[in-house]
C-alpha cells in the first residue's frame, strides 16, 4: 500500500500486526473495472468449449494431442491467464475470483480427454480398473497370491481399490472406466483447499497464495493424478502435512518470529502454539489418515516419514512422537499386508543404495524418440528448471520470508535424499518432483509477486515491482506453453480406440486359465484383463540392444523362451507400436518387422487380425516334431 510522507510532529503509530491488502491503485489512476475479470473468465471458458468439437483426437500422430488442439483452445488459456492476473489485483478484497479462475484453469488444462475420449486415457490406468474388477469378482483380498507381473502388490495395498469397488457398486456402473478419465479433475478440486490452507499458513498475501496455486497446477504435468493410488495418497499426504504445520507448533519455538519488523510484509504470523496434550490428541486424530495412506500406496508413507523427520530439524515442529507413530504404522503395514513386496524391495537395496545417477533416471527402458515424446521430455525438464530457478531466486532475495517459511522449504527438499536409496522402477525422479512441487510453487510465486505494503519506497523496490509486473505474466504464459507438450505431447500412445481394446479383450477371453499372454509391452488397455488367471510376458521391456537381436528371428527367440506345454497367445496392437517407438524400445520400423515375421512364421498362426492389431497363437506341434525347446 502506498504511503505519502508528511512531516511528523507526533510519534509514529505502531507497526500494524497484519499485512495490508495488496497495493491499491494510486490516486488519479484507475484500476481494472470489476467486471473485467468475470468477463475474461466467461470468454476463456467459451473459447475452450468452442474448441473441443474441433479436436480431431482420433488422428493423432507424432505430436499427440498437441497439434490437434485448435487455435481457440490455446487462445482460451491466454484469456484465462489474463483474467487471473486481473483478478489477482483484487485478491485481497475479493479472493473468490482467483479461486474461480484456478478451477477454470484446472478444467481447461485437464478436462479435454475426459470430455472427448471414448476410451480410457493412459493404458496403464486400465490396469487399476482390472484390479477393481478382480476384487469385485473374487470378493476377497489375496495379498500373498503369486500373480503375474507382481500384481499381488495391489492386494497388499488395497485401500484405493476397495474404495473404488465401493464407488462402482454405489454408482451402479459396470467398472471404473465409466468415470476414470475424470480423476484428474476430481483430485485437483479436492487438492485446491488443501493447498490454500498450506500456503495461508505462511503468508497473509492472497496474491501470493493464488499465484502459488496457479503455478502448482501448471507445473503438475507428471501425470500422477489419474485414477491411481498415488493420486489419492498424495492428497492425504498433503492433508497430514498441512494439519501438522498449522496445529503442531511447540510453545516458545518461534519467539524470534513474533516481531513483524523481522518478517517479510507478506509473511503470516506463526500459528498459535499447542500444548503437549493437544499435540498428543492431534497425533491420535492423524493416525487414521496415516493408516489410510499406508493402505493406499507403498511409497507415500516413506515420503511422509522423510518429511516429518525434516520438520524435526526445526524447534517449531520437533515432534518425535508423531514421527514415531508414522514410522511404526508404516513398518507394521510393510511387515504384514505388504510383506512380500517389502522383503523383495529390501533385497534389491544393496544394488541401488548410493547410486544417485541410476536412481534419478527417468522411467524409460530406452530413449524417447519421435517429435512428440522428445518435445514432451524437454518441456518437462524445462518446466522443472524454471520453477526451481524462480524458487531459488525467492529463497535468496526474500530472506525474511524464507526465514518464516523454513518448514515448508525443508518439507519440499526432504524427498531429495531418496535418490540415494532406490529408483522405484524408474519413477523416483517424478515422485521426488511431485512431492517437492507444493513448496517449490510457493517460492516460485514469491519471486514473482512483490511484497505488498510497507512505508519504504526505495528505487530498488520500485524497480523490482516493475520487473515482476512483466515477469509474472511472462512466466505464467511460459509455464502454460511448457505444460501442454509435457502433458499432451505423448497422447498418441495414451489414447487407444475402443475397437483395439475389444480385440485385446476377446483375445484374452479365449485363453484358458494358466495361459501365457505375450506382447511387446504392458502399456495398452486391457493388457491385464483376467490378470489373476493369465500369465504375462512383455518381451520388449528389456535393453533395446537385446530387442535388436530379437528382431533377427523373433519367432525362434520367443519359442526358445516359452515354457513347454504353455497355451500362448501373442497380441500386437497399434498402441504397442506407438509406445515401443516413442519409448525407444524398438528401432524405427521394428514393430512392423516383428509383426510381419511372427505372422509369416510357421511357429505361429493368426487367430484374428484387425486394422488395430493382430492376435497370434503359438502352435509349434503343427509344424515341428516335438515342438520348440
424 vs 480: which has the higher pLDDT:
480
pLDDT(365) > 70? no
pLDDT digits 0-9 by tens, 531-545: 989 999 999 999 999
Report the chain's mean pLDDT, rounded to a whole number.
Answer: 88
Residues 304 and 354 in one domain: yes
**Mean pLDDT, residues 576-601 taken together:** 94
Domain that holds residue 612: 496-622
Confidence of residue 361 (pLDDT cuts 50, 70, 90): low
Nearest to 405 by CA among 203, 208, 216, 197: 203
pLDDT digits 0-9 by tens, 222-274: 888 899 999 999 999 999 999 999 999 999 877 777 667 778 888 888 899 99
In 448-462, which positions are buried (b, 16+ CB within 10 angstroms) versus exposed (e)?
bbbbbbbeeeeeeee
Identify the weakest region by mean pLDDT among 175-179, 287-291, 424-428, 456-460. 456-460
pLDDT at 468: 79
Residues 288 and 314 in one domain: yes
Residues 173 and 231 in one domain: no
> Of 470, 491, 512, which closes a domain?
491
Query: What's the rounded Cα separation, in Å, for the pair 85 and 214?
Result: 11
Residues 254 and 376 in one domain: yes
Domain annotation covers residue 118: no
3-state SS class at 265: coil
Residues 233 and 216 in one domain: yes
Please, is 588 exposed, middle or buried when counting C-beta atoms within 10 Å of its C-beta (0-12, 13-18, 19+)? exposed
Residues 135 and 151 in one domain: yes
Domain annotation covers residue 583: yes
Domain annotation covers residue 22: no
pLDDT(181) > 80? yes
3-state SS class at 559: helix
> Of 146, 178, 210, which closes a domain?
178
Angle at the Cα of 285 (from 279 to 291), degrees rounded to 5? 120
Cell 526432504 belongs to which residue? 414
- For residues 134 and 526, the answer to whether their CB atoms sit within 8 Å is no
Domain annotation covers residue 115: no
- For residues 313 and 125, the answer to whether their CB atoms sit within 8 Å is no
Nearest to 223 by CA among 248, 275, 188, 270: 188
**In this structure, what is the dihedral angle of CA atoms 449, 450, 451, 456, given to the nearest 10 degrees?**
-170
- Cross-strand partners of 613: 573, 610
Domain annotation covers residue 81: no
Between the ranges 11-25, 281-295, 519-533, where is the mean pLDDT highest? Answer: 281-295
Confidence of residue 457 (pLDDT cuts 50, 70, 90): low
- For residues 485 and 376, the answer to whether their CB atoms sit within 8 Å is yes
Nearest to 122 by CA among 237, 192, 222: 222
Cell numbers describing residue 411: 518439507
> Of 467, 491, 515, which closes a domain?
491
Which long-range contacts link 538-545 to residues 24+ away (Cβ below 8 Å)?
540/580, 540/585, 540/586, 541/365, 541/585, 542/365, 543/365, 544/365, 544/366, 544/367, 544/584, 544/585, 544/586, 544/587
Cell numbers describing residue 512: 484358458
Residues 174 and 185 in one domain: no
**Mean pLDDT, residues 111-134 taken together:** 92
Domain annotation covers residue 325: yes
- Where is 446: in which H helix or E strand? helix 428-448
- For residues 540 and 143, the answer to whether their CB atoms sit within 8 Å is no
Report the number of distinct structural domains present in the chain.
Answer: 3
Domain annotation covers residue 303: yes
Residues 370 and 254 in one domain: yes
Query: What's the rounded Cα separation, in Å, for the pair 84 and 513?
Result: 56
Domain annotation covers residue 150: yes
pLDDT(124) > 60? yes
Residues 291 and 388 in one domain: yes
Measured over the CA atoms of residue 75, residue 77, residue 80 and residue 84, the dihedral's sign is: negative
Cell 459396470 belongs to which residue? 174
Confidence of residue 370 (pLDDT cuts 50, 70, 90): confident
pLDDT digits 0-9 by tens, 321-335: 999 999 999 999 999
Residues 317 and 388 in one domain: yes
Confidence of residue 563 (pLDDT cuts 50, 70, 90): very high
pLDDT at 351: 78
Confidence of residue 355 (pLDDT cuts 50, 70, 90): confident
Q: Please, what is the end-to-end C-alpha distance for the chain in angstroms?
A: 82
Which long-range contacts link 557-565 to residues 24+ away (Cβ below 8 Å)?
558/518, 558/598, 558/618, 559/603, 559/618, 559/620, 559/628, 559/629, 560/628, 560/629, 562/516, 562/618, 562/628, 563/516, 564/627
Residues 445 and 428 in one domain: yes
Residues 342 and 406 in one domain: yes
38 vs 625: which has the higher pLDDT:
38
pTM (2 d.p.): 0.90
- Residues 6+ positions from 271 with CB-CB distance below 8 Å: 201, 245, 246, 247, 249
Amino acid at each position: 500500500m502506498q504511503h505519502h510522507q508528511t512531516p511528523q510532529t507526533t510519534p509514529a503509530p505502531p507497526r500494524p500486526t497484519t499485512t495490508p491488502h495488496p497495493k491499491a491503485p494510486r490516486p488519479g489512476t484507475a484500476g481494472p473495472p470489476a467486471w473485467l475479470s468475470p468477463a475474461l473468465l466467461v470468454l476463456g471458458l467459451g473459447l475452450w468449449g468452442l474448441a473441443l468439437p474441433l479436436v480431431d483426437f482420433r488422428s493423432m500422430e507424432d505430436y499427440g494431442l498437441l497439434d490437434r488442439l485448435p487455435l481457440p483452445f490455446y487462445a482460451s488459456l491466454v484469456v484465462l491467464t489474463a483474467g487471473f492476473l486481473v483478478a489477482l489485483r483484487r485478491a485481497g478484497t475479493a479472493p473468490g475470483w482467483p479461486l474461480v479462475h484456478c478451477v477454470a484453469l484446472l478444467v481447461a488444462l485437464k478436462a479435454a480427454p475426459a470430455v472427448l475420449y471414448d476410451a480410457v486415457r493412459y493404458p496403464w490406468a486400465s490396469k487399476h480398473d482390472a484390479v477393481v474388477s478382480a476384487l469385485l469378482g473374487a470378493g476377497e483380498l489375496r495379498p500373498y497370491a503369486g500373480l503375474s507381473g507382481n500384481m499381488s502388490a495391489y492386494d497388499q495395498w488395497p485401500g484405493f481399490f476397495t474404495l473404488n469397488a465401493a464407488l462402482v457398486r454405489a454408482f451402479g456402473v459396470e467398472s471404473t472406466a465409466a468415470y476414470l478419465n475424470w480423476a484428474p479433475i476430481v483430485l485437483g478440486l479436492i487438492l485446491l483447499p488443501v493447498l490454500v490452507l498450506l500456503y495461508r499458513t505462511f503468508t497473509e498475501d492472497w496474491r501470493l497464495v493464488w499465484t502459488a496455486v496457479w503455478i502448482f497446477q501448471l507445473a503438475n504435468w507428471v501425470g500422477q493424478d489419474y485414477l491411481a493410488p498415488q493420486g489419492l495418497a498424495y492428497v492425504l499426504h498433503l492433508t497430514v502435512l498441512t494439519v501438522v504445520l498449522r496445529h503442531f507448533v511447540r510453545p516458545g519455538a518461534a519467539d524470534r518470529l513474533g516481531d513483524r519488523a523481522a518478517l517479510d510484509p507478506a509473511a503470516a504470523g506463526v500459528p498459535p502454539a499447542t500444548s503437549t496434550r493437544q499435540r498428543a490428541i492431534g497425533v491420535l486424530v492423524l493416525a487414521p489418515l496415516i493408516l489410510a495412506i499406508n493402505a493406499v500406496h507403498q511409497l507415500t508413507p516413506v515420503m511422509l516419514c522423510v518429511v516429518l523427520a525434516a520438520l524435526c530439524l526445526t524447534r517449531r515442529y520437533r515432534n518425535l512422537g508423531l514421527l514415531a507413530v508414522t514410522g511404526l504404522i508404516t513398518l507394521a503395514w510393510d511387515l504384514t499386508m505388504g510383506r512380500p513386496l517389502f522383503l523383495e524391495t529390501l533385497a534389491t537395496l544393496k544394488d541401488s543404495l548410493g547410486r544417485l545417477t541410476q536412481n534419478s533416471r527417468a522411467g524409460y527402458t530406452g530413449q524417447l524418440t519421435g517429435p512428440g515424446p522428445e518435445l514432451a521430455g524437454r518441456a518437462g525438464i524445462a518446466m522443472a528448471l524454471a520453477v526451481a530457478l524462480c524458487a531459488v531466486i525467492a529463497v535468496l532475495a526474500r530472506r525474511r520470508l524464507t526465514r518464516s517459511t523454513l518448514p515448508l522449504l525443508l518439507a519440499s527438499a526432504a524427498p531429495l535424499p531418496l535418490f540415494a536409496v532406490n529408483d522405484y522402477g524408474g519413477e523416483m525422479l517424478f515422485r521426488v518432483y511431485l512431492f517437492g512441487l507444493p513448496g517449490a510453487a510457493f517460492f516460485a510465486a514469491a519471486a514473482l509477486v512483490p511484497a505488498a505494503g510497507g512505508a519504504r519506497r526505495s528505487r530498488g523496490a520500485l524497480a523490482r515491482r516493475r520487473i515482476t509486473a512483466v515477469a509474472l505474466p511472462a512466466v505464467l504464459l511460459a509455464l502454460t506453453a511448457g505444460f501442454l507438450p509435457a502433458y499432451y505431447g505423448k497422447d498418441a500412445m495414451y489414447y487407444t480406440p475402443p475397437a483395439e481394446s475389444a480385440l485385446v479383450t476377446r483375445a484374452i477371453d479365449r485363453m484358458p486359465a494358466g495361459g501365457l499372454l505375450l506382447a511387446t509391452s504392458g502399456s495398452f488397455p486391457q493388457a491385464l484383463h483376467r490378470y489373476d488367471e493369465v500369465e504375462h510376458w512383455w518381451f520388449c521391456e528389456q535393453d533395446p540392444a537385446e530387442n535388436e537381436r530379437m528382431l533377427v528371428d523373433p519367432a525362434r527367440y520367443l519359442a526358445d523362451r516359452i515354457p513347454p506345454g504353455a497355451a500362448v497367445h501373442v497380441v500386437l496392437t497399434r498402441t504397442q507400436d506407438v509406445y515401443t517407438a516413442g519409448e525407444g524400445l524398438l528401432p524405427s520400423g521394428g514393430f512392423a518387422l516383428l509383426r510381419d515375421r511372427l505372422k509369416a512364421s510357421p511357429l505361429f498362426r493368426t487367430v484374428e487380425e484387425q486394422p488395430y492389431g493382430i492376435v497370434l497363437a503359438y502352435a509349434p506341434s503343427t509344424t515341428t516334431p516335438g515342438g520348440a525347446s
